Amino acid sequence: MSPDLDPERQLALAYVPAAKRAALETLWRLDATLGSVLATGRDPLISRIRLAWWRESLEKLDRERAPAEPMLEAVARHILPAGVTGAELSGIEEGWAVLLSPDPLGLDALQHYAEARGGRLFLLSARLLGGEASGVAAAGEAWALADLARRSGRPEEAGAALRAASSTASPPRWPSPLRPLGMLAALARRDAQRGLPLEAQGSPARMLRMLRHRLTGR
């Protein structure tokens, strides 16, 4: 079973049209599944092998039937018919793999992680939602960096991730189809501006910020 999504992604999904919700939820659950490899693995080498298996399995979906693995079956059922390839999805693994470094991440590594995970995730999400806006990839990078700050047990690394997130740009006003993404981007900006310690996910103030963005696009 794939890991549960955090309450903020769950709320964003509630504002996705029903016809597109299954595909986007599957994409976000795939990202969470890749993250769970790191969260549950104690040996970095084993985690790297497991991530490589996911990358190769996603790539194979472009030429082979999905194996009897629920997440891969869901990808084949909901995402591939929407025009996103397994090879494109496999690139998200590259971002997660950056976090296997035993040392705190420097700026180059943070940027690599942000682009490969967050930027790609938001671009693919926008495609599934059927909308376009400049700055979507950058907004995804900021979101991934803020998420890393929340996950990291290293205060120095978490602070560096938030500073990097604060330097990225977002669309000045999100078009309606992409506002579920904008809701998450708005929280990433909030985290970058406030710094450490971070607010608890799902707090009333954060939920209100998401709803305000849903109404205004800002």
Residue 109 lies in a domain: yes
pTM: 0.95
Per-residue confidence (pLDDT) for residue 205, from 0 to 100: 96
- What are the tens digits of pLDDT across the range 55-89? 999 999 999 999 999 999 999 999 999 999 999 99
Domain count of the fold of the chain = 1
- What are the tens digits of pLDDT across the range 27-44? 999 999 999 999 887 788
Query: Which of 143, 55, 125 shows the shortest CA–CA distance to 96?
Result: 55
Per-residue confidence (pLDDT) for residue 1, from 0 to 100: 54
99 Rama class: left (phi>0) / alpha (psi -120 to 50) / beta:
alpha
Per-residue confidence (pLDDT) for residue 182, from 0 to 100: 96
Residue 1 lies in a domain: no
Residue 2 lies in a domain: no
Query: Which of 100, 189, 1, 151 shows the shortest CA–CA distance to 209?
Result: 189
Query: Which of 127, 97, 110, 129 shows the shortest CA–CA distance to 15?
Result: 129
202 Rama class: left (phi>0) / alpha (psi -120 to 50) / beta:
left
Structural element, H or E, at residue 70: helix 70-74
Per-residue confidence (pLDDT) for residue 169, from 0 to 100: 78
Which runs of E-coded beta strand occur in 35-188? none
Residue 191 lies in a domain: yes
Residue 150 lies in a domain: yes
Which runs of E-coded beta strand occur in the chain? none
Intervals of the chain under pLDDT 50 = none
Identify the domain containing residue 134 by its residue range: 7-216
Token pair for residue 116?
Answer: 């490969």
